């Protein structure tokens, strides 16, 4: 099976000034603040959590740009329709077909391996609606690509978004998820009723 080209061109480590100003202007307009320090690593899987609203993507992009990060992000393939296909590709979107999750995880991990520098944003809940658990694709991709996980967040009550610590996948799923649960426990999305429990089906099995 051949692997697809990334949905966006390789990203420069330098964020163009127009992106920085666009991100800062967006946050200023809504009264938000970008916090945290971008780690000096060339690649990482970025967690977008909690994901409860359509507003999460524009705020995530604004925070990333304000902090000096160009990011790619996975999004359902159905949004890549005319006239939005080119726009989402320009933003850094990578289409994912939900019913092909296993093959998509492998392809995305291989695509990350081909890039010299890439920050890939993934919403582990897979949807802005409440579901039973997080999807483990983000962890599989990080392990297969040999990259760390960067904990990113949007906290709507405090109007703060940013980056937290880097987490290295150990293979002990429950222990790894305990770190994520502790970090995201105080973070609240725009629609708290849509929050998905931070757990994986694979917990308790030793490996994801």
Q: What is the pLDDT of residues 8-38, one digit of tens each?
A: 444 444 577 888 999 999 999 999 999 998 8
Q: What's the token pair of residue 147?
A: 């990259």
Residue written as tokens 């005319």? 82
In whole angstroms, how far apart are CA 138 and each of 11, 74, 91? 20, 10, 20
One digit per residue, the tens of pLDDT, for the chain of length 208 reads 333 444 444 444 457 788 899 999 999 999 999 999 888 898 999 998 888 888 998 999 999 999 988 888 776 666 656 666 666 666 666 666 555 555 778 888 887 888 888 899 988 876 555 556 788 888 889 998 899 999 999 999 999 999 999 999 888 888 999 999 999 999 999 988 888 888 887 775 544 4
Q: Three-state SS for 44?
A: strand
Which pLDDT score, from 0 to 100, does residue 10 have?
Answer: 43
Sign of the torsion formed by the C-alpha atoms of 92, 19, 44 and 189: negative
Sign of the torsion formed by the C-alpha atoms of 33, 37, 41 and 42: positive
Spell out the domains of the chain, with CATH numbers in brackets. Answer: 29-194 (3.40.50)
Q: How far apart are CA 128 and CA 51, in angstroms?
A: 5
Q: Which of 98, 122, 92 has the alpha carbon at shortest distance from 109?
A: 122
What are residue 43's DSSP bridge partners?
118
Residue written as tokens 């099995």? 205
In whole angstroms, how far apart are CA 21 and each of 64, 67, 90, 112, 176? 11, 10, 17, 27, 35
């Amino acid at each position: 099976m051949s692997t697809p080209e990334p949905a966006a061109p390789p990203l420069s480590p330098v964020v163009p000034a127009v992106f920085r100003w666009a991100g800062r202007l967006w946050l200023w307009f809504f009264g938000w603040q970008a916090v945290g320090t971008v780690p000096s690593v060339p690649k990482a899987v970025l967690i977008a959590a909690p994901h409860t609203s359509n507003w999460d993507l524009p705020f995530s992009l604004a925070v990333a740009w304000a902090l000096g990060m160009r990011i790619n992000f996975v999004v359902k393939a159905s949004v890549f329709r005319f006239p939005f296909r080119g726009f989402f590709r320009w933003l850094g979107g990578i289409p994912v077909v939900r019913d092909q999750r296993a093959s998509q995880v492998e392809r995305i991990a291989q695509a990350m391996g081909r890039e010299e520098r890439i920050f890939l944003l993934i919403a582990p809940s897979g949807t802005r609606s409440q579901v039973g658990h997080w999807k483990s694709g983000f962890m599989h991709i990080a392990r297969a690509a040999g990259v760390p996980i960067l904990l990113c967040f949007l906290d709507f009550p405090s109007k703060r978004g940013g980056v937290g610590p880097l987490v290295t996948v150990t293979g002990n799923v429950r222990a790894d998820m305990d770190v994520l649960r502790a970090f995201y426990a105080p973070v609240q999305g725009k629609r708290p009723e849509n929050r998905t429990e931070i757990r994986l089906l694979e917990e308790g099995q030793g490996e994801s």
